[in-house]
Amino acid sequence: MSASGTPRPDTFDIHLFDLDGVVTPTAAVHMRAWAQMFTSFLASRGVAEPYTDEGYFAYVDGKPRYDGVASFLASRGIALPQGEPGDPSDQEAGAETVCGLGNRKNDEVLRMIREDGVEPYPGTVAYLDALAADGERIRLAVVSSSRNAEEVLRGAGLRERFEVVVDGNVAEHEGLPGKPAPDTFVHAARLLGGEPARAVVYEDAVAGVRAGAAGDFGAVVGVDRGVGHRALAEAGASLVVSDLAELLEPRHDQKHDQKEEQA
């Protein structure tokens, strides 16, 4: 599904990749960690309505961690103090806060990553290889709401592929609002020496696609890992694929056509 007249993604110089769900399948790890944390929290509050994957996609997916906690709690009419980033994650350590719940979820994610490792999507690695073959004009960045992006990239063996990483830590340091605001993507593009019009955004979350659409980027590629092609297109994706390997097919067709013309 693509918008008419959208340039091919590989014609852009600057490529901005979300991490979880685009480069690595850690979105599934995050989903499990969110489910574990919220299920335990709701049970402790005596809330009968269970936490579901639909709640994740509607209120949490793609947002900075604490924003996701606050958004989901608001959907259930639960009010907690915001707290501070250093709040304890241990449920028994004191009064629960939004930050404390977010930290509890993060502890679980790190445990899963360290115990199970991280394998990148093969299609994404193949696409990164193809971009690298285009030479030095191609500039790559990861733009993630996660504060663990550096650790995940190192665990996946991909850190050296990306010149710039703008994660939750950078966003906090620079005072940048998180997705669906476009600021983190815009910041990454400028760190790579270009304006949004010269860049393409790759995102699997509705909030991330909205960020790309709001930033007037040259193209926004939605990667459907479960949200749905229609939802990503309606959020502003100019092209939607199920895997980045699909973006390699036109390259192959183009080369085939060139060979036929030469023959």
* pLDDT of residue 226 exceeding 80: yes
* pLDDT of residue 199 exceeding 70: yes
Report d(CA 53, CA 184) in Å as an integer: 26
* pLDDT of residue 225 exceeding 50: yes
Residues 6 or more apart whose Cβ sits within 8 Å of residue 8: 250
Name 17's bridge partners.
142, 202
Residue 61's nearest CA partner among 231, 187, 220, 239 is: 231
Residue with the larger pLDDT of the pair 135 and 202 = 202
Cβ atoms within 10 Å, residue 94: 11
- Torsion from C-alpha of 16, 19, 24, 29, nearest 10 degrees: -160
Average of per-residue pLDDT across 47-55: 92
Residues 6 or more apart whose Cβ sits within 8 Å of residue 52: none
Residue 195's nearest CA partner among 203, 205, 186, 208 is: 186
How are beta strands 14-17 and 199-203 bridged, if at all? parallel
Is residue 68 a contact partner of residue 93, using CB atoms and an 8 Å limit?
Answer: no
Q: What percent of the chain has pLDDT over 90?
A: 73
Per-residue pLDDT tens over the stretch 137-150: 899 999 999 888 99
Catalytic, out of 18, 67, 87, 224: 18
> Is residue 191 very low, low, confident or very high in pLDDT (cuts 50, 70, 90)?
very high
Task: Catalogue all structural domains in the chain, each as residue range(s) with its CATH number.
Answer: 9-25+119-262 (3.40.50.1000), 27-116 (1.10.150)
Residue 62's nearest CA partner among 146, 150, 173, 182 is: 146
Whether 20 is catalytic: yes
94: helix, strand or coil: coil
What is the per-residue pLDDT for 22?
97
Question: What is each CA distance from 236 to 67, 90, 208, in whole angstroms?
Answer: 21, 39, 10
26: helix, strand or coil: helix
Residue with the larger pLDDT of the pair 263 and 158 = 158
* pLDDT of residue 244 exceeding 60: yes
> Is residue 249 very low, low, confident or very high in pLDDT (cuts 50, 70, 90)?
confident
Catalytic, out of 13, 20, 224, 257: 20
In terms of C-beta density within 10 A (0-12 exposed, 13-18 middle, 19 or more buried), how is residue 71 classed?
middle
> Is residue 115 very low, low, confident or very high in pLDDT (cuts 50, 70, 90)?
confident
> Is residue 5 very low, low, confident or very high in pLDDT (cuts 50, 70, 90)?
low
